[in-house]
Amino acid sequence: MDMEEVAMNLIVRSGDARSSAFQALAEAKKGNFDKADELMKLSKAQFTEAHHAQTDLLSAEAQGDKPEINVLLIHSQDHLMTSMLAQELIEELIYLHKTKADK
């Protein structure tokens, strides 16, 4: 397993997920809730791709194939967790925008 490739995959996929989530928030601010929901679904799909790469690492380690830990791999995990947190917070913000629009 090429750790640089795995790390870059995690960074790219989780970055795509984070970008889509922030695009969803921008649409919610404009009142385009259908588009916001669509973008959040895309964000979750992109995050799932990143999460699969992380799961592959965990599975490999569980089978005795210890990954080489380096700064790039640690950085990729930071990207993954930041994307997850962004999605969670943005979902709440979109909910608040929807609630405000309903009043």
- 95 exposure class (CB count in 10 Å sphere: 0-12, 13-18, 19+): exposed
43-56 pLDDT, tens digit each: 999 999 999 988 98
Residue-range domain boundaries for the chain: 3-102
Single pTM value for the model = 0.90
Give the active site residue among 51, 52, 75, 79: 75
The correct answer on CATH 1.20.58.80 for the domain covering 3-102 is yes
d(CA 14, CA 29): 23
The structure tokens listed for 23 are: 């695009």
d(CA 90, CA 98): 12
66-100 pLDDT, tens digit each: 888 899 999 999 999 999 999 999 999 999 999 99
User: Residue 50 — φ and ψ, nearest 5°?
Assistant: -65, -40
Q: Is residue 75 among the annotated active site residues?
A: yes
* Structure confidence at residue 42 as a pLDDT band (50, 70, 90): very high
